[in-house]
Structures are given as C-alpha cells and as structure tokens.
Amino acid sequence: MAKIGILGAGSWGIALSVLLHGNGHEITVWSIIREEVEMLQEKREHVSKLPGVKLPDDMKFTNDLEEAMAEKDVLVLAVPSPFTRSTARSMKPYLTKGQLIVNVAKGIEETTLMTLSEQIEEELPEAEVAVLSGPSHAEEVGRGIPTTVVVGAKKKETAEYLQNIFMNQVFRVYTSPDIMGIELGGSLKNVIALAAGIADGLGYGDNTKAALITRGIAEMTRLGVKMGGKMETFAGLTGMGDLIVTCASMHSRNRRAGILIGQGKTMQEAMDEVQMVVEGVYSAKAGLKLAKKYDISMPIVAEVNAVLFDGKPAKEAVNELMMREGTSEHRSMLWE
C-alpha cells in the first residue's frame, strides 16, 4: 500500500483517487477551494464534475496542502494546466527531497513554451517528476470502464513502480522514457480536438473529422520529433489514441467548446458554457509559437488560432485548409 496525495479535486483528480483507492492505497485529496472540500466531505461525491461516482468513507479531503503532501509516497498533480506552475510553487515549502510527483494534466505554458513537467522541475528541482497520459476520460475511468494509458519517467524503475501502483483489471498502464513526446501529444491533441469540434459545429461529417485527425497527428509528429520526442509515441496511446478519443467523444471539453464555436459562439462564450477549463485554448498559442520556433508547418493549429483569437470565421478557416497548395502526403517517400 502506498500513501498518495491527489492535488486537485476536479473530475480527473477524483477519478484517479477512486481508482487508486480501489487498488488498496491510502488517499488524501487536496483542493484549494474550501467549498469543494466541504462538498466532497459531506456528499462523498463530486456532484458537479463527476456525478454518480461515490467516494469511499475513508478517503480524506483537505484544504491543507502540507497535510496532503506530508509523508506521501506519491503526489499526483491534477490541477488544470494554467495552474500547474503556481501550485508547484505553493508545494515547495512542504516537499521532501526526492518526493515523486506524477503530473496528469496536459498543456504547454504560453509564455515560456515549457511542458508541465518542465515547469514542475523548475519550481521543484528536488522532486522526481513523472507523467501519466493517454485516452482516459475521467467520466469513464471513474466508472471503471476499461482504459489504457502510458506513464513516462526518466528512470525505468520509477515508471515500473508507478505502473504497479496505477494498474488494475480496468486500467492498463504502459511505460515509456519519452516524457517529451507524451506531453506534447497530450497537449497538442486538444488543439486538434477544438478543430474537430468546430467542424462538427459547422455541420460537417465523418470525412472531415478523419481528415483532421490524420493530418493533425502529422502536425503533432512533425513538431514533436523536432523537439526530441519519438515518432512511435505519436503513433501510440498518447498521440493517435488520445487524439481519436478527444476528437470523437462528447466527454471532451475541447470538442464541446469547438462545436459551440462552429455554431457561432465566441471563444469566451464557449468556455463559459462548457464550465470547465478548455485546455486547448491555452495550448493553441503555445503550439503556434513552437511551430514558428522550430520552423514546422502546422496549418490546422494556425487556423485554430485565427478562429480563437483573430475573429476569423470558422468556415473560412476550413476553406483555407482545403485550398492550400497541393503536396504529397508523406514527403519522405520518393518516386522511383
């Protein structure tokens, strides 16, 4: 049995707390929001973000960050990506040297272009940082629906330790040393999912979505490999797998926000209606900046930015994607 602190009581943090408790671990869940902690203690359920998933009586909830971190074998950092750095900074006074932090959020910091694990390492250099990602909607993990994910770490023994902690008969965990590829896949797929949602909102069909998924993974892979990620990662669970589920599911807040934008709402109106952090909005600018920094063509990411931040009509953005100059699908293939 491990002692685990879950930092962040949103849908994903709560789903993982249920999973890990079911695996026999001692769980303490922290939230910065006092009313949220009181609701979880009283209702034993997150009534707004994960309704119907009952929380065990011996699961602890707290507003005290020190209590959530003290003597824990593993800390699961599950706050929305815009708050990763500030939360890590708040953790510093209570961190034990070498304490293991598993980041489970997805995003890229717009100002620094750092991945979330890089931000955590910068704020908490004495911690050991790993990541867990993959096609894993909280709504399904919380209900015990079979799911597969990848845990990335610098040390093989760390990845295998976390694999054993998280894995059970409905939650299969693979290991990987490619932290960069895992994080870029998890972040950039949210931008492509916004595009898929916009296409749905415009009334387009399966052909359009298939095009966005396949050309989206091409964009993600080009950038990811240039930044040091491995091509295999983008063809796997945290690349293609996560992209498919995020583009296809109504559990996806990014797809839902995209649908609303395609129907004519502004970015802010869509985010307000979804009532959750839409990670792709925060990753879109960072993705475009990285494309320019590494001189990588990412036309879907560029058009999503134009729709979100420049007021470009969504239909016009789709038309421009379709009417770009013709090219080959795989430029590495040569004619005989």
- What is the dihedral angle through the alpha carbons of 250, 255, 259, 262, rounded to the nearest 10 degrees? -160
In the annotation, is 315 catalytic? no
- What is the dihedral angle through the alpha carbons of 230, 240, 236, 282, rounded to the nearest 10 degrees? 60
Q: Is 183 helix (H, G, I), strand (E, B) or coil?
A: helix
CA max distance for the chain: 70
DSSP E strands, the chain: 3-7, 26-30, 60-62, 74-77, 100-103, 128-133, 147-152, 171-176
The single residue of 49, 72, 106, 189 carrying the catalytic annotation is: 189
Whole-angstrom distance, CA of residue 88 vs CA of residue 122: 9
| 8 A C-beta contact, residue 106 and residue 116 | yes
Burial (0-12, 13-18, 19+ Cβ within 10 Å), 57: exposed
DSSP string, 240-288: IIHHHHHHH-TT-HHHHHHHHHHTT--HHHHHHHHTS--HHHHHHHHHH
Tokens of 94: 């209570």
Whole-angstrom distance, CA of residue 28 vs CA of residue 155: 26
Provide the annotated active-site residues: 189
